Amino acid sequence: MKKIIKFCLVFLCFFNQNNFAFSNDSPLKRNYSLGEKIEYFMTGRNQKRDALHLYTAISSATVEMYPSGIFYENTSWVNFVFDNQPVQLDQPSLNFRERISLDPRFNQLEHYPDQTYIDRRLCGPADDLLNIYIDIQLAAMFPMLQKAGDNFFFKFGKPISFLKGQAENCLDFDLKLKQVNHETGIAILEVKHIPPKDACGIKLPAEWMNAPVLPGLLNNIVSTEPLSDGSFSIVVGSNTIIVEATIQLGSGKILNATLSDQYQLIERICTDSKGVNCNEPVRYKEQRDITIVPKGSDVHE
């Protein structure tokens, strides 16, 4: 499971388990119609340390409903283009279905899809769409987000492990309604996943790991990867995620949304997993930028 996805799902589960009072009258509330068709055109730009990957894809969903009355979007993927080359998806990828929803009663954690047998390149678009949905669903639950300028900061500040325990990160949440315009019929939501202001418990055993990679921000992500020669690649730094979505008032439909996943990192190759004996640091940046718009919209065309 991708790092952002795991963090968002754990955060959402935390709220559910602690019985927070959620809103039923949010301006972001999604009003589904059974059988409704929903398609997005997605673009992705993934700038890694040594490579740039681009993709486009179309998600195609039909709104379905459980006997309990909870709505969800049964989503498939088509027209996948990776690094400017059309991808002939195999049958498992064509058969892949992802259940997502903006219905506040829908538990995203229980419905995280099995991606074991699909084209690995398709995991990115599937997870990126889910990331966006989780943030919008979460924002629509909070009663304090009603009008333009309303803001809710939640200090989550707990370490989350990923990459089979080889990495950790921690993030706080800052949610803001930037705009609620009843004349134009739109709301603009911004959700920031930001480094905590105080230490959050991720393991940074060596002194150099605690020096801020980005001035003014605590390091909030670390990974330790064993290499074939017995040494360890240790990466530490700052990670911030920003999701912005334009929502149609009344229907709650997504008119467009962006996700930016930003990293400022330092890597050192060390003889030990604690980072005591290491070579000189190498500084680099990574960033993922995702956009979705309804297929056939003016923006898409």
Helix 3-17 with 120-141: angle, nearest 10 deg: 30
Closest to 72 in 3D by CA, of 27, 40, 34: 34
For the domain 3-294, what is the CATH code?
A: 2.30.230
The Cα–Cα gap between 58 and 213 comes to: 37
| CA 251 – CA 211 distance, rounded (Å) | 47
Q: What is the pTM of this model?
A: 0.91
What pLDDT does residue 38 have?
A: 98
Tell me, what's the pLDDT at 156?
Answer: 82
> What is the structure's pLDDT at 70?
96
For residue 131, what is the DSSP state? H
The pLDDT tens digits for 222-245 are 999 999 999 999 999 999 999 999
* Interval 270-282: pLDDT, tens: 999 999 999 999 9
**Any residues with CB less than 8 A from the CB of 148 and at least 6 apart, and which?**
177, 178, 179, 180, 181
In SS3 terms, 66-102 reads as CCCCCEEEEEEEEEEEECCEECCCCHHHHHCCEEECC
- For tokens 């989350």, the residue is 160
**pLDDT, tens digit (0-9, with 9 covering 90-100), for 89-148:** 999 999 999 999 999 999 988 898 999 999 999 999 999 999 999 999 999 998 899 999
Tell me the average pLDDT across 27-48.
97
Residue 215, C-beta contacts closer than 8 angstroms, at least 6 positions apart: none
The pLDDT score that the predictor gives to residue 1 is: 41
d(CA 98, CA 177): 28
Q: What is the dihedral of CA 11, 15, 16, 19, to 10 degrees?
A: 170
Q: Name the β-bridge partners of 179.
A: 188
Determine the average pLDDT of the residues in 151-167.
83
Q: Using alpha carbons, select from 215, 170, 221 the residue that is nearest to residue 196.
A: 170
Return mean pLDDT, the chain: 91
- Does residue 199 carry a pLDDT above 90? no
Structure-token pair, residue 248: 């149609």
Cβ distance 54 to 83 under 8 Å? yes
